[in-house]
Amino acid sequence: MAQYQLLINKKTYTVDVDMQMPLLWVIRDIIGMTGTKFGCGIAQCGACTVHLDGVAMKTCLLPVSAAVGKQITTIEGLGTDKMHPVQQAWIDEQVPQCGYCQSGQIMAATALLAKNPNPSDEEIDVAMQGNICRCGTYQRVRQAIHTAADLMKKETGGEGGKR
Amino acid sequence: MEKNINRRDFIKFSGMTGAVLALGFYLPAKGKELLVGNLATQELELSPFILIETSGKITLINPRPDMGQGTFHSIPLLIAEELEVDIDKIEIRPSDGNPKYGAQLSGGSGSVAASWLPMRKAGAAAKEMLIKAAAKKWQVAESECYAKEGKVFNKKNNSSLSYGELVEEAAKLEVPKEPKLKEKKDFKYLGKKSMRVDIPSKVNGTAIFGMDIKVPNMVYAAIEHCPAIWGKVANIDERRARDVKGVKDVVKIKRPVFMKSPECVAVIADNTYAAFQGKKALRITWESAEAEKFNSADYFKKMREMAKTEGNPHENEGDVKAALSKASKTITAEYETPFASHAPMEPEACVVHVKEDSCEIWAPVQSPDTSAFGVGGQVAMAIGMKPEQIKINVVFMGGAFGRKAFYDFVVEAALLSKQVKAPVKVVWTREDDITQGPFRPAMLNAFKGGLDAKGNVTAFQHTIIGGSIQNQWGGMANGKKVDDWAVEAVDKENSPYEIPNFRLDYLHAEPSVPLLWWRSVYSSTNGFAQESFVDELAHAAKKDPMEFRISLLEKAPRFKKVLELLKEKSNWTEKLPKGKAKGVAIVRSFGTICAHVVTVAQKDKEIILEKVVTVIDCGMTVSPDNVKAQTESNIVYGLTAAVKDGITFVNGKAEQSNYNNYKMIRINETPKMEIHIMDNDEKPSGVGEPGLPPLAPALANAIFALTGKRLRTLPFKLEV
Ligand code: FES
Ligand code: FES
């Protein structure tokens, strides 16, 4: 057991856990935020995706020690003041079915859009293929990422500074 | 069953005070049809579905658990439509498994179909009572009043009273027997685009699934199951497991699997990771020699042998044998479909707290029923309590597809909680989920077809061979020869191709692994086989596969219309460049007709699935966008089963265990999908499954058109 300081959603948490414990279980069981999901435990499905310094990362195999000193963002830390455009787009396009994979999908999509504000279908496919959706919402995920890109453009004043 | 749901119980359940208009259903002593009753005036056993309080608050109870298919939204929408209230302004609560709510199972794509009339009637009855109450207050005729947006209006002077203000008066009234239902043209919500109410919570991490339940003093359990499924524990070396930090205990229990109870070993810990590490560190010697005899390759060999023998007839019209002997051309084919795992995104997980004289369950299950088949009944039996002592909290399912209508993991949690005397959260690993089943049955479908000189089909012999789900509860006892569930989707009613000599047979081949409903069940395996073989017949008759089907469906207008629309929407007759081809298939399952046209393209050695165009006839729709979403989902799920992995067994053990070797379709492999819904006034039917069965055959038929190679075994590779 060892003590770690974690910066999650701009708040510092001190945890005392096994150094091998994956970040996923620290976030879920120790800190108690359950938006980040467990789907496979072998870095295959992306349900456990969070951001580490803005980069989408699967956390089910990532030892907690590797996250120290990084800015960790989970689904709970997204759109806290106002809904994130990706979340809005996910509602507009009615993406989720069971919803279980969607935290991971949204974290992967927000990281993609931060890097590439106007991705093509192919770029979306490349960035999102680490995230499985057993309900098969992929067509809507693709569409919602385009919708979110449009919403973000409007927000940043891309269209005459409407907001 | 309890006698009356009296006001006190009810208020306890609803947490309400003061007057309330509460309507629900009851089954009259000599009736078959549910009637709507008023809780305040009738001494009845009621299942309340609509509650309106004086404060104006409206609560609707949804008895059909949501696994992603949208019942959380669609069922209350039926009530809201007739009651003239805005769905966003009402609270929707899941039912709690109390028998007063009647059937509460989500399964068989039946939720909307079964709820369509009763739910609307309840909404309409409440509305009429509120109008009556208002008319009385104003001393005007009822016809002078109308309801809109949670209020009753007076046509004359446009004054209005809110439902809340009318509750007291309305609660004293009789429930109208035949409330007038709205006409389709007046629908405000039904058949229109509406936003699902559960979605906002599913984009910000607040939706609570089974995996997310946390209750005070809860411990975590990971369970090591026998790799060959049916086993006993001969010896446990638990020292290394107990050395894992956070591990508290190691406990042997039994997992209930139909009539059997294989043993397994649970590691109790203070977090999930520690429980998983403890599970890995267990050294168990299993006694499972008998189970280890099962090999799926041998099982298929046996079914191939059986295919040479005569089947037991389920349907038999004309004389197939004579017609075959007279045919100018006969063709035979066998199709094989593997065992499959549901692999819902959320592995099985739940919390159960067994106390001295009661038990509380928090579980993502397809039914909160307390009957013997329901989760409540099974837990009660396992821990020696009465169903009334069990309280069930249904939470969101992270996918289910049939798997979460099987409650082994909930019973495991109950048995553990009883032993360790604390609330226990059971978390299955993905490996538990994929290797332990129950599985979709592996099947072999054998056909013989006969054509006359003009290419007309004169004989059609279909034999379905494989495992029986119902036999696991003794459903094939007493010499029953045909599993009537196993022949779904391809009997004459569901597959009305006009063929003069037709025979549908079944042969029971028992595998030793547990079987279960898997999204669309036997319709998926039967549909693949039948619609591929119909395609073979079309090609043997040198006819266009679309026209060939249409010509055999002259007397089945709904089927014919679906194909005609699909022919147009898919641009079936367009001339395709070399290296591209289309395939079609149509299957009716769970009352809904669905047909796909799949377009494939060759790129080097690879086959790319470019597009799927679909026409679905599910009668009138509650939520067309949800029909589309479910159909997209079925296409991806069906495609995964067609081209990814089946479950194979060697020495009783599943060879696949996680998403690395039981692979899923991913976004980059997802075709463009275009879904068209038939517009008609037919009775609604479900959409949670019917999009699946025609996908694999439409794809295989397209590949045949592209390459000339007939694919008769699932899964197949997308390669030339
Ligand atoms: S749980 Fe981490 S990738 Fe699946
Ligand atoms: S929405 Fe169910 S797994 Fe993606």
**Per-residue confidence (pLDDT) for residue A80, from 0 to 100:** 84
Q: Which atom of ligand 1 is nearest to the CA of A130?
A: 3
User: How many angstroms separate the CA atoms of B271 and B222, rounded?
Assistant: 10
Measure the CA–CA gap between B79 and B74, rounded to whole angstroms.
Answer: 9
pLDDT tens-place string over residues B375-412: 999 999 999 999 999 999 989 999 999 999 999 999 99
User: Do B67 and B399 touch, CB atoms closer than 8 A?
Assistant: yes
Range list of β-strands (E), B270-327 = 283-287, 312-317
DSSP H helical segments within B307-451, as ranges?
320-326, 375-383, 408-420, 430-436
Domain ranges (residues) in chain A: 2-77, 85-156
B125 and B274, same domain (yes or no): no
A28: which DSSP letter? I
CATH of residue B218's domain is 3.30.365.10
Instruction: Kindly report the average pLDDT of chain B as a whole number.
Output: 91
Only one residue has tokens 């669309």, namely B520
Task: Judge if B356 and B475 occupy the same domain.
Answer: no
Q: At B713, is the secondary structure helix, strand, or coil?
A: strand
Does residue B398 contact residue B368 with C-beta atoms inside 8 Å? Answer: no
Phi-psi domain of B229 (left: phi exceeds 0; alpha: psi -120 through 50; beta: other): left
Confidence check: pLDDT of B13 > 70: no
Are residue B513 and residue B552 in the same domain, yes or no?
A: yes
The share of chain B scoring above pLDDT 90, in percent, equals: 76
Among candidate residues B204, B229, B264, the one where a domain is terminated = B204
CA distance B511 to B393: 35
Shared domain check, B359 and B405: yes
Chain A residue with minimal CA distance to B209?
A: A100
Q: Which residues of A touch B612 (CB under 8 A)?
A: none
Ligand 1 centroid to A101 CA: how many Å?
A: 10
Give the mean pLDDT of B191-197: 84
Q: With helix as H, strand as E and coil as C, how does B595-618 read?
A: EEEEEEEEECCEEEEEEEEEEEEC
Q: How many domains does chain B have?
A: 3
Q: Which amino acid is at B585?
A: A
Q: Mean pLDDT throughout A65-84?
A: 95
Which chain B residues are within 8 Å of A135, Cβ to Cβ? 68, 345, 399, 633, 636-637
Pairwise CB contact (< 8 Å): B667 & A131: yes
Residues 183-222 of chain B with CB under 8 A from chain A are 195-196, 198-209, 211-212, 214, 220
First to last CA, chain A: 49
pLDDT bucket at A162, cuts 50 / 70 / 90 = very low
Q: Stretch B153-163: mean pLDDT, rounded?
A: 93
Are B315 and B399 part of one and the same domain? no
Nearest CA distance, A113 vs chain B (angstrom)? 17
Kindly report, residue by residue over B326-367, the tens digit of the pLDDT.
Answer: 999 999 999 999 999 999 999 999 999 999 999 999 999 987
Is CATH 1.10.150.120 correct for A85-156? yes
Asked if residue B507 and residue B373 are part of one domain, the reply reads: no
What pLDDT is attached to residue B11? 46
A63 touching B (Cβ < 8 Å): no
Q: What is the DSSP string of A119-140?
A: --HHHHHHHHTT---TT--HHH
User: Would an 8 Å CB–CB cutoff place B659 in contact with chain A?
Assistant: yes
Does residue B271 belong to the interface with chain A, where contact is any CB pair within 8 Å? yes
| pLDDT at residue A161 tops 60 | no
Ligand 1 center from residue A36 Cα (angstroms): 10
Burial track B382-395 (b if 16+ CB lie within 10 A, e otherwise): bbebebebbbbbbb
Q: Count the Cβ atoms, other than its own, within 10 Å of residue B709.
A: 12
Query: H/E element holding B703?
Result: helix B695-707
pLDDT for the residue numbered B121: 87
Say yes or no for a CB contact (<8 Å) between B625 and A94. Answer: yes
Which pLDDT does position B114 carry in this prediction?
67
Residue B80 has pLDDT above 50, yes or no: yes
> What is the rounded CA–CA span in Å between residue B492 and residue B501?
12
Cα torsion B78, B84, B85, B86 to 10°: value is 80
Closest to A102 (Cα-Cα) out of B200, B659, B401: B200
Check pLDDT > 90 for residue B77.
Answer: no
Residues B50 and B140 in one domain: yes
Query: B357 exposed, middle or buried (CB, 10 Å; 0-12, 13-18, 19+)?
Result: exposed
> What's the CATH architecture for A2-77?
Roll (3.10)
Q: Which of B68, B203, B635 sits opposite A106 (nearest CB)?
A: B203
On chain A, the residues whose CB falls within 8 A of the CB of B345 are 37, 39, 45, 47, 98, 100-101, 132-135
Q: Which of B396, B427, B458 is the last residue of a domain?
A: B427
pLDDT, greater one: B75 or B668: B668
CA-to-CA separations, B503 to B179, B262, B586, in angstroms, rounded: 46, 40, 20
How far, in Å, from the CA of B64 to the mean position of ligand 2? 19
pLDDT per position as a tens digit, B255-289: 999 999 999 999 999 999 999 999 999 999 999 99
Cα(B11)–Cα(B19) distance, rounded to whole angstroms? 10
Q: Do A137 and B632 touch (CB under 8 A)?
A: yes
Q: Cα angle vertex B346, ends B656, B354, to 5°?
A: 110
What sections of B541-623 are H helices per DSSP?
Answer: 545-552, 557-569
Which atom of ligand 2 is closest in space to residue B68's alpha carbon?
2
For residue B372, is it within any domain?
Answer: yes
Asked if the structure places residue B5 within a domain, the reply is: no
Q: What is d(CA B212, CA A84) in angstroms, rounded to the nearest whole number?
A: 23
B9 in a structural domain: no
For B325, residues 6+ apart whose C-beta sits below 8 A from its C-beta are none
Ligand 2 mean position to B203 CA, how many Å?
A: 11
Chain A hits for B192, Cβ within 8 Å? none
Contact B414, B382 (CB under 8 A): yes
Q: Kindly state whether residue B196 falls inside one of the protein's structural domains.
A: yes
What's the CA gap between B415 and B92, in Å, rounded? 32
What amino acid occupies position B144? E
Write down which residue in B400, B427, B454 finishes a domain. B427
Rounded CA separation B573/B582 (Å): 10
Ligand nearest to the CA of B632: 2
Is B717 a domain residue? no
* B10 alpha carbon, distance to own chain's centre: 30
Say what the ipTM of the complex is: 0.96
Supply the range of the domain harboring residue B200.
20-204
The verdict on residue B609 lying in a domain is: yes
Q: What is the pLDDT of residues B100-123, one digit of tens each?
A: 444 555 555 556 666 778 788 888
pLDDT at B3 over 60: no
Closest CA to B426 of B278, B240, B282, B266: B266
For ligand 1, atom 3, which residue shows the shortest CA distance? Answer: A43
Neighbours of B184 (CB within 10 A): 11
Ligand 1 centre to CA of A58 (Å) is 6
